[in-house]
C-alpha cells in the first residue's frame, strides 16, 4: 500500500503543499518563532513555504501576529538561521551517502556511473572548472544536478581534498539525500 503524502497549509500564502515543500516552525510561550524541522520542540507548530524571500519578509513586516492571533517575535536572523540549518542538513545527507557507499567521487567515476545509468543525481561544486562542467552537462542531460556548495565546503564536509564532482547512486539513500539538497536549493531560489 502506497504511503499518502501528507499536506499542510502555509500560514503566510494559504497554499496547501506536501510537508516536504514546507518549513516547520514553532511558537514558544513567549512568542518567539523558531525553526523546528524535526518536530522535537514544544510549542505551537505551523508551516511556511520553503522560501528565503518569504522569511525575509517576516523580519521586515511580521504578519504572524494577525495570522496566529498572538504576539510573535521574529528574530531578524531567522532567514540566515534557516539557511544554515538547510545548508548543514544537505552536507550531512551527502556524508551519510558516502558512509553507506552510495556516493561516487571524482569526474571520471561520476561520468562512468552516469554512462551506466546508475546515478540518481550529480552534485557539482559551484566553482568547478568550465571544461568539467561541459563534460558533465553533455552526459547528464536526464540526471538532476545540484550546484549548492563550493569545492572548499564539499572537501571539508567529506574530509577529502579537491572535491568537485559527486554522484549519488540510484538507491533508497538517494531519495533522502535528494530531498535534503532540494529543500536547500528551493530555499535559496524561491
Residue 19, number of CB atoms within 10 A of its CB: 12
Domain of 114, in residue numbers: 83-189
Q: Is the pLDDT of residue 139 over 90?
A: no
Domain of 125: which CATH number? Answer: 3.30.1330.30
Last residue of a domain, one of 47, 75, 103: 75
Residue 3's pLDDT band (cuts 50, 70, 90): low
* 1 in any annotated domain: no
CA dist., res. 67 & res. 86, Å (int): 25
Indicate whether 103 and 182 sit together in one domain: yes
The closest of 93, 132, 142 to 111, measured between CA atoms, is: 132
In a domain, residue 67? The reply is: yes
Tell me: the pLDDT tens digits for 21-77?
999 999 998 999 999 998 888 888 999 999 999 999 888 888 888 888 888 989 999
Which range is least confidently modeled, 57-61, 72-76, 129-133, 149-153?
57-61
Measured distance CA(81)–CA(75) in Å, rounded? 9
Domain boundary among 20, 49, 75: 75
Q: Are 173 and 118 in contact (CB under 8 A)?
A: no
Residue 2 is assigned to a structural domain of this protein? no
Judge if 120 and 178 occupy the same domain: yes
Is the pLDDT at 167 greater than 90, yes or no? yes
Total domains in the chain come to: 2
| 106 and 71 within one domain | no
Question: Does one domain contain both 136 and 152?
Answer: yes
The torsion angles phi and psi of 16, rounded to 5 degrees, stand at -100, 125
- Full-model pTM: 0.91
Is 64 found in the same domain as 91? Answer: no
Q: What is the CATH number of the domain that holds 47?
A: 3.30.1230.10
The residue among 59, 37, 39 whose CA lies nearest residue 183 is 37
Are 88 and 160 found together in one domain? yes
Domain match, 127 and 70 both? no
Residues 103 and 184 in one domain: yes
Residue 56 in any domain: the answer is yes
Does any domain span residue 24? Answer: yes
Amino acid at each position: 500500500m502506497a504511503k499518502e503524502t501528507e499536506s499542510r497549509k502555509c500560514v503566510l500564502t494559504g497554499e496547501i503543499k506536501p510537508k516536504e515543500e514546507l518549513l516547520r516552525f514553532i511558537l514558544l510561550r513567549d512568542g518567539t518563532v523558531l525553526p523546528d524541522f524535526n518536530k522535537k520542540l514544544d510549542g505551537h507548530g505551523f508551516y511556511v513555504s520553503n522560501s528565503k524571500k518569504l522569511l525575509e519578509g517576516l523580519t521586515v513586516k511580521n504578519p504572524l501576529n494577525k495570522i496566529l492571533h498572538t504576539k510573535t517575535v521574529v528574530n531578524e536572523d531567522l532567514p540566515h538561521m534557516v539557511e544554515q540549518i538547510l545548508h548543514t542538513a544537505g552536507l550531512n545527507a551527502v556524508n551519510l551517502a558516502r558512509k553507506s557507499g552510495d556516493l561516487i567521487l571524482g569526474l571520471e567515476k561520476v561520468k562512468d556511473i552516469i554512462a551506466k545509468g546508475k546515478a540518481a543525481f550529480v552534485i557539482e561544486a559551484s566553482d568547478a572548472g568550465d571544461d568539467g562542467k561541459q563534460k558533465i552537462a553533455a552526459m547528464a542531460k536526464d540526471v538532476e544536478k545540484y550546484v549548492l556548495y563550493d569545492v572548499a565546503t564539499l572537501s571539508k564536509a567529506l574530509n577529502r581534498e579537491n572535491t568537485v564532482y559527486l554522484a549519488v547512486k540510484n538507491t533508497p539513500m538517494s531519495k533522502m539525500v535528494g530531498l535534503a539538497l532540494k529543500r536547500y536549493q528551493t530555499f535559496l531560489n524561491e
